[in-house]
Structures are given as structure tokens and as C-alpha cells.
Chains A and B, each alone.
Chain A
Amino acid sequence: AQKITQTQPGMFVQEKEAVTLDCTYDTSDPSYGLFWYKQPSSGEMIFLIYQGSYDQQNATEGRYSLNFQKARKSANLVISASQLGDSAMYFCAMREINTGFQKLVFGTGTRLLVSP
């Protein structure tokens, strides 16, 4: 069964510094996708970045990059040059292509606080 683990309940970072949010996953399906979402205090879920299991390169989207280590089953989110507006909950999620039947499973989330 697919499973996502986020072991950091909270993280602190100073403005303009980089931060890494950890995510490990477990699946027996060789074809899967990994997602990161941001949830500000207003509550909406904002899609940030996607990595497919067959993608050769790590995904990047502006200040967000995904450190994908397939053998270790980890998909850490790296936020470069943190901004105050990055303070939010961050969720890692996974979808199995062959066996997950369209399900998207989430981790427990990491609360990031960016200080001036």
C-alpha cells in the first residue's frame, strides 16, 4: 500500500535562507508521481511541484526544487531564498499509476515558519 511519511512537524528558517522539507514514501508500483502542496493559513491548497518516477531530472519550479532520490525513496522539497510568504503548511503526496486507482495519498505535513 502506498504511504507517505513527513517526519518534521515544524521547521524554522530565516528569510533569504534555503530550507529542505523531508518526504519519504513507500510503494511497490514502479510507476508513480510525487506532489508537493502548500497550504497557507487561509486554507487553500496550492500545487507547487511534481516529480514522476521515470523522470530523469529533478523537478524545478522557480524557487522550488525537488531532491528526488529514487533508491532511498525520498522526495524532499527545497525552497531557496525563503520569503515571509513561504510560512505555511507543506504536504507531500503520492499517486500510484498502476495500482493506486487514481488515489492521491498525503503525508501529515510540515509547518514552515520563516522569520525576518
Chain B
Amino acid sequence: DVKVTQSSRYLVKRTGEKVFLECVQDMDHENMFWYRQDPGLGLRLIYFSYDVKMKEKGDIPEGYSVSREKKERFSLILESASTNQTSMYLCASRITGRTNKNTEAFFGQGTRLTVV
């Protein structure tokens, strides 16, 4: 059974704290993604990684950084948490697809982060 696991389901942090969200996948996927989900805005891509130590900015990277030291683990870092980063964070992984065939993304259960 394929699995993407996020380290926390719920997290409460204070403004200004450095926050780490961890994601681990056991499917040997090359690609990993971090999204944030807000009502009315859908899922917005923060960062993604297509290989170990490789990363690309998504649509809303400001205030975030990422780390991928091992293939199975992709971390999202909030350098100095702010209240506008209160959101649901979803991690996903997927194999590399260079053709038109289906390469669905598998998602973790999500981390609901509240910054107070």
C-alpha cells in the first residue's frame, strides 16, 4: 500500500517561530510537492522537488523554504511563522512522467497549522 506520511496532523505555533513540516514517502518517487489549501483558493503549489537536493519554486514560495536531503523525505520550513501562514498544508509525491500516461500524485493526510 502506497504511503505519504506527514509528521503532524495538527500544529500550533507562535508568530516568529521557525516551523518544520516533514513529509515521507515510501514509493521511491522522484517528485515531491508541498501545497497549501485555503477555502476558496484551492491547492496552491509552494515548492516542489524533482530529485534529491533539487527544488523549484511554485506559485507562492514567499516565506517558505524546503529541504530534500534524501529521496524519501521532503521538508517544508517556515523561517519565521506569521499568522497569514495559518493553513492546511498538503504534501504529495509522484513518479516522473514523460509521456501522456497517467501519473497520479499521492497525498499525505495534511497538516493543519495554526500560527498564533
Contact = CB atoms under 8 A, between A and B. Distances in A.
Given A44-B107, A91-B43, A52 B100 contact: yes
Contact of B110 (A43, A55, A102): A43
Given A9-B40, A95-B97, A104-B92, A45 B102 contact: no
A6 B35 CA distance: 18
Nearest to A44: B109
A78 interface: no
A102 B48 contact: yes
Interface residues of B, number: 32
Contacts of B109: 43-44
Contacts of A44: 107, 109-110
A1 to B, nearest CB: 9
B58 interface: yes
Interface size class of A (residues with CB under 8 A): 20 to 34
Interface of B: 31, 33, 35, 40-45, 48, 50, 56, 58-59, 88, 90, 92, 94, 96-107, 109-110
18 contacts: A9-B40, A33-B102, A33-B103, A43-B109, A45-B107, A47-B106, A50-B102, A52-B102, A91-B42, A95-B97, A95-B103, A101-B50, A102-B31, A102-B96, A104-B105, A105-B59, A107-B42, A109-B42
